[in-house]
Amino acid sequence: MAVRIQQIYKYYGDLHALEDISFNIEAGDFFGLLGPNGAGKSTLIGIMAGLVRASRGHIQIMGHDVHQQWRQARQVLGIVPQELAYDPFFTVKQMLRLQAGYFGLGRENYLWLEELLDILGLANKANTSLRDLSGGMKRRVLIAQALVHKPPVVVLDEPTAGVDVELRKALWQFTRQLHEKGHTIVLTTHYLEEAEALCNNIAILNQGKLIALDTKQKLLDYYPYRLLRLSLTSEDEVNLPPALQEKLQSFQPGQLVLKLHREHDQIGAILESLRAAQIHFTDLHTEEAGLEEVFVNLTSKASV
Amino acid sequence: MNWYGLYTLFAKETQRFMKVVVQTVLTPIITVLLYLVIFASVLQDHIEVYPNISYTQFLIPGLMMMSIIQNAFANTSSSLFQSKMQGSVVFMLISPLSNLEIFLAFVGAAVLRGVLVGIGVWLAALWFVSLPIFNVWAIISFTLLGSALLGALGLIASLISDKWDHISAFQNFVILPLVFLSGVFYSVDKLPGIWNQVSYYNPFFYMIDGFRYGFLGVSDINVLISLSIVSTFLVATVMACLWLLSTGYKLRY
Ligand SMILES: Nc1ncnc2c1ncn2[C@@H]1O[C@H](COP(=O)(O)OP(=O)(O)OP(=O)(O)O)[C@@H](O)[C@H]1O
Ligand SMILES: [Mg+2]
List the single residue in B11, B96, B98 with the smallest CB-CB distance to A103.
Answer: B96
Which tops the pLDDT comparison, A207 or A100? A100
Whether residues B252 and A50 touch (CB distance < 8 A) is answered with yes
Q: What is the DSSP letter of B182?
A: T
SS3 A101: helix
**Sheet of A281-288, strands arranged across:** A248-252, A255-261, A225-232, A281-288
| Single-letter amino acid, residue B201 | Y
| Lowest-pLDDT choice from A165-169, A172-176, B138-142 | A165-169
Give yes or no for residue A17 CB within 6 A of ligand 1.
yes
Name the closest ligand to CA A189: 1
CA distance A67 to A63: 12
- Least confident stretch, A59-63, A79-83, B125-129, B130-134: B125-129
Residues of A in contact with B12 (CB under 8 A): 90, 98, 101
Which ligand number lies closest to the CA of residue A81? 2
Q: How far apart are CA B162 and CA B31, in angstroms?
A: 29
Instruction: Please give the DSSP secondary-structure letter assigned to residue A199.
Output: -
- Chain B positions touching A51 (Cβ under 8 A) are 90, 93-94, 252-253
How much is the pLDDT for A304? 45
Assign domain A3-217 to its CATH superfamily.
P-loop containing nucleotide triphosphate hydrolases (3.40.50.300)
Per-residue confidence (pLDDT) for residue A303, from 0 to 100: 52
Contact B94 A71 (CB under 8 A): no
Q: Which of A8, A9, A11, A12 to mutate to test the pocket of ligand 1 (most atoms within 8 A of CB)?
A: A12
Whether residue B65 contacts residue B211, with contact meaning beta carbons closer than 8 Å, is answered with yes
N- to C-terminal Cα separation, chain B: 24
Taking CB atoms within 8 Å and a gap of at least 24, the contacts of A219-223 are A219/A291, A219/A294, A220/A196, A220/A288, A220/A289, A220/A290, A220/A291, A220/A294, A222/A294, A223/A289, A223/A293, A223/A294, A223/A297
In tens, the pLDDT along A112-123 reads: 999 999 999 899
pTM here? 0.88
Altogether, the residues listed in chain A come to a count of 304
Alpha helices in chain A (DSSP H): 41-49, 70-75, 92-102, 110-119, 135-146, 165-180, 192-198, 216-222, 242-245, 267-276, 291-303
Write down the pLDDT at residue A273.
86
- Distance, in Å, from the CA atom of B48 to the CA atom of A144, rounded to the nearest integer, reads 63
Q: Does the beta carbon of A51 sit less than 6 angstroms from any atom of ligand 1? A: no
**Minimal-distance CA residue to ligand 1 atom 31:** A38
| A12, A72, A74 ranked by CB distance to B95: nearest | A74
Average pLDDT score over chain A: 89
CATH code linked to domain A224-288: 3.30.70
- Mean pLDDT, rounded, for A69-90: 93
| B252/A98 Cβ within 8 A | no
Q: How far away, in angstroms, is B79 Cα from ligand 1 center?
A: 26
A36 Cα–ligand 2 center, Å: 9
**CA of B8 to nearest chain A CA: how many angstroms apart?**
5
Q: Would an 8 Å CB–CB cutoff place B84 in contact with chain A?
A: no
Could you tell me the distance, in angstroms and rounded to a whole number, from the CA of residue A47 to the centre of ligand 2? 12
Query: Which ligand does the CA of A51 lie closest to?
Result: 1
| Residue A41 CB–ligand 1 contact under 6 Å | yes
Indicate the domain borders of chain B.
3-247
Residue B171, burial from CB neighbour count under 10 angstroms (0-12, 13-18, 19+): middle
Cβ atoms B28, B67 nearer than 8 A: yes
Quick one: which of A285, A265, A268 has its CA closest to A276? A268
Sequential pLDDT tens for chain B (253 residues) = 999 999 999 999 999 999 998 888 889 899 888 888 887 777 766 667 777 788 888 888 999 999 999 999 999 999 999 999 999 999 999 999 999 999 999 999 999 999 999 999 999 888 888 889 999 999 999 999 999 999 999 999 999 999 999 999 999 999 988 888 888 887 777 777 788 888 888 999 999 999 999 999 988 889 999 999 999 999 999 999 999 999 999 999 9
Residue A38 Rama label (left phi>0; alpha psi -120 to 50; beta): left
Please tell me if the CB atom of residue A299 comes closer than 6 angstroms to any atom of ligand 1: no
Cα–ligand 1 centroid distance for A38 (angstroms)? 5
Q: Locate the chain A residue with the closest alpha carbon to B11.
A: A98
| Boundaries of every domain in chain A | 3-217, 224-288
> pLDDT-derived band of residue A41, with 50, 70 and 90 as boundaries?
very high
Is B248 in CB contact (< 8 Å) with chain A?
yes
3-class DSSP state of A280:
coil
